[in-house]
Amino acid sequence: MKSRIDITEFRNRLKDNTKIGNPSLKITWGILSIFNDNSKSFYGNFDNSTFELITNSNFLPALYVLKGTYKKTNENLTVNYGFEPIGKLRIIYIKYFPIIAFILCNCIFYFEVKPPKEIYFLFNVLIVFIYFFSILKIKW
Protein backbone atom coordinates (compact mmCIF):
# COMPACT_ATOMS: atom_id res chain seq x y z
CA MET A 1 0.00 0.00 0.00
CA LYS A 2 1.28 3.45 -0.85
CA SER A 3 0.40 6.52 1.12
CA ARG A 4 1.15 10.21 0.81
CA ILE A 5 1.66 10.77 4.53
CA ASP A 6 5.14 11.29 5.91
CA ILE A 7 6.95 8.46 7.72
CA THR A 8 7.13 10.51 10.94
CA GLU A 9 3.37 11.09 10.81
CA PHE A 10 2.85 7.34 10.34
CA ARG A 11 5.05 6.59 13.37
CA ASN A 12 3.21 9.22 15.41
CA ARG A 13 -0.14 7.63 14.48
CA LEU A 14 1.21 4.23 15.49
CA LYS A 15 2.46 5.67 18.79
CA ASP A 16 -0.84 7.45 19.51
CA ASN A 17 -3.04 4.41 18.74
CA THR A 18 -0.94 1.51 20.05
CA LYS A 19 -0.48 0.21 23.58
CA ILE A 20 3.01 -1.30 23.68
CA GLY A 21 3.27 -5.01 24.49
CA ASN A 22 3.81 -8.43 22.99
CA PRO A 23 0.71 -9.32 20.93
CA SER A 24 1.22 -13.06 21.30
CA LEU A 25 1.08 -12.75 25.11
CA LYS A 26 -2.06 -10.60 25.43
CA ILE A 27 -4.88 -12.47 27.15
CA THR A 28 -8.42 -11.14 27.33
CA TRP A 29 -9.71 -11.30 30.89
CA GLY A 30 -13.27 -10.22 30.11
CA ILE A 31 -15.17 -8.79 33.04
CA LEU A 32 -12.09 -9.14 35.28
CA SER A 33 -10.34 -6.41 33.30
CA ILE A 34 -12.84 -3.58 33.71
CA PHE A 35 -10.20 -1.42 35.37
CA ASN A 36 -7.66 -1.95 32.57
CA ASP A 37 -6.63 0.99 30.41
CA ASN A 38 -8.15 0.35 27.00
CA SER A 39 -8.00 3.83 25.51
CA LYS A 40 -5.85 2.85 22.51
CA SER A 41 -7.16 0.90 19.52
CA PHE A 42 -4.23 -1.46 19.01
CA TYR A 43 -1.89 -3.56 21.11
CA GLY A 44 1.55 -4.55 19.88
CA ASN A 45 5.10 -3.57 18.98
CA PHE A 46 6.61 -1.35 16.34
CA ASP A 47 10.00 0.10 15.54
CA ASN A 48 11.53 2.20 12.76
CA SER A 49 10.57 -0.19 9.96
CA THR A 50 8.26 -2.97 11.23
CA PHE A 51 5.05 -3.36 13.20
CA GLU A 52 3.07 -6.20 14.80
CA LEU A 53 -0.45 -5.30 15.99
CA ILE A 54 -3.69 -6.83 17.29
CA THR A 55 -6.91 -5.18 18.42
CA ASN A 56 -6.87 -3.92 22.01
CA SER A 57 -10.00 -5.47 23.48
CA ASN A 58 -10.84 -6.81 26.92
CA PHE A 59 -13.68 -9.06 25.78
CA LEU A 60 -12.98 -10.29 22.24
CA PRO A 61 -9.81 -12.34 21.78
CA ALA A 62 -7.64 -11.54 18.78
CA LEU A 63 -7.15 -14.48 16.46
CA TYR A 64 -4.91 -12.75 13.91
CA VAL A 65 -1.82 -10.53 14.07
CA LEU A 66 -1.26 -7.70 11.60
CA LYS A 67 2.45 -7.85 10.72
CA GLY A 68 4.15 -5.52 8.32
CA THR A 69 6.95 -3.25 7.28
CA TYR A 70 7.03 0.35 6.19
CA LYS A 71 9.61 2.52 4.43
CA LYS A 72 9.92 5.82 2.60
CA THR A 73 10.22 5.50 -1.18
CA ASN A 74 10.44 8.62 -3.33
CA GLU A 75 7.58 10.84 -2.13
CA ASN A 76 5.41 8.02 -0.83
CA LEU A 77 5.30 5.82 2.22
CA THR A 78 5.16 2.14 1.26
CA VAL A 79 3.47 -0.20 3.74
CA ASN A 80 3.59 -3.98 3.22
CA TYR A 81 1.43 -5.97 5.62
CA GLY A 82 -0.29 -9.30 6.11
CA PHE A 83 -2.50 -11.13 8.59
CA GLU A 84 -1.14 -14.18 10.38
CA PRO A 85 -2.91 -16.53 12.81
CA ILE A 86 -2.04 -15.86 16.45
CA GLY A 87 -1.14 -19.47 17.18
CA LYS A 88 -2.67 -22.85 17.93
CA LEU A 89 -2.19 -22.57 21.68
CA ARG A 90 -4.31 -19.42 21.90
CA ILE A 91 -7.07 -20.93 19.74
CA ILE A 92 -7.09 -24.03 21.96
CA TYR A 93 -7.29 -21.78 25.04
CA ILE A 94 -10.20 -19.80 23.59
CA LYS A 95 -12.02 -22.94 22.51
CA TYR A 96 -11.65 -25.15 25.59
CA PHE A 97 -11.28 -22.80 28.56
CA PRO A 98 -15.07 -22.32 28.98
CA ILE A 99 -15.53 -26.09 29.09
CA ILE A 100 -12.84 -26.48 31.74
CA ALA A 101 -14.30 -23.55 33.72
CA PHE A 102 -17.79 -25.10 33.47
CA ILE A 103 -16.61 -28.45 34.84
CA LEU A 104 -14.37 -26.96 37.54
CA CYS A 105 -16.91 -24.47 38.85
CA ASN A 106 -19.72 -27.01 38.84
CA CYS A 107 -17.54 -29.37 40.87
CA ILE A 108 -16.87 -26.59 43.35
CA PHE A 109 -20.56 -25.68 43.47
CA TYR A 110 -21.64 -29.28 43.90
CA PHE A 111 -19.10 -30.45 46.47
CA GLU A 112 -18.14 -27.31 48.40
CA VAL A 113 -20.27 -24.17 48.17
CA LYS A 114 -23.88 -25.30 47.57
CA PRO A 115 -25.25 -21.98 46.21
CA PRO A 116 -28.94 -21.27 45.66
CA LYS A 117 -30.37 -22.76 42.46
CA GLU A 118 -30.79 -19.32 40.85
CA ILE A 119 -27.08 -18.51 41.15
CA TYR A 120 -26.14 -22.00 40.00
CA PHE A 121 -28.39 -21.71 36.96
CA LEU A 122 -27.25 -18.16 36.11
CA PHE A 123 -23.60 -19.11 36.34
CA ASN A 124 -24.05 -22.15 34.09
CA VAL A 125 -26.01 -20.16 31.50
CA LEU A 126 -23.24 -17.53 31.49
CA ILE A 127 -20.50 -20.09 30.89
CA VAL A 128 -22.50 -21.82 28.13
CA PHE A 129 -23.09 -18.42 26.49
CA ILE A 130 -19.35 -17.65 26.65
CA TYR A 131 -18.55 -21.04 25.13
CA PHE A 132 -20.90 -20.60 22.16
CA PHE A 133 -19.74 -17.04 21.63
CA SER A 134 -16.09 -18.14 21.55
CA ILE A 135 -16.92 -20.90 19.03
CA LEU A 136 -18.70 -18.38 16.78
CA LYS A 137 -15.76 -15.98 17.03
CA ILE A 138 -13.34 -18.70 15.94
CA LYS A 139 -15.48 -19.71 12.94
CA TRP A 140 -15.81 -16.11 11.66
Phi, psi values for residue 121, rounded to 5°: -65, -45
Q: If 0-12 CB within 10 Å is exposed, 13-18 middle and 19+ buried, where does residue 16 land?
A: exposed
> For residue 81, which of 123, 44, 133 has the smallest C-alpha distance?
44
pLDDT at 140: 47
Task: Return averaged pLDDT per consecutive 10 residues of the chain, 140 residues in all.
Answer: 88 91 74 68 91 84 88 90 84 79 84 82 83 64
Bin 89: left if φ > 0, else alpha if -120 < ψ < 50, else beta: alpha
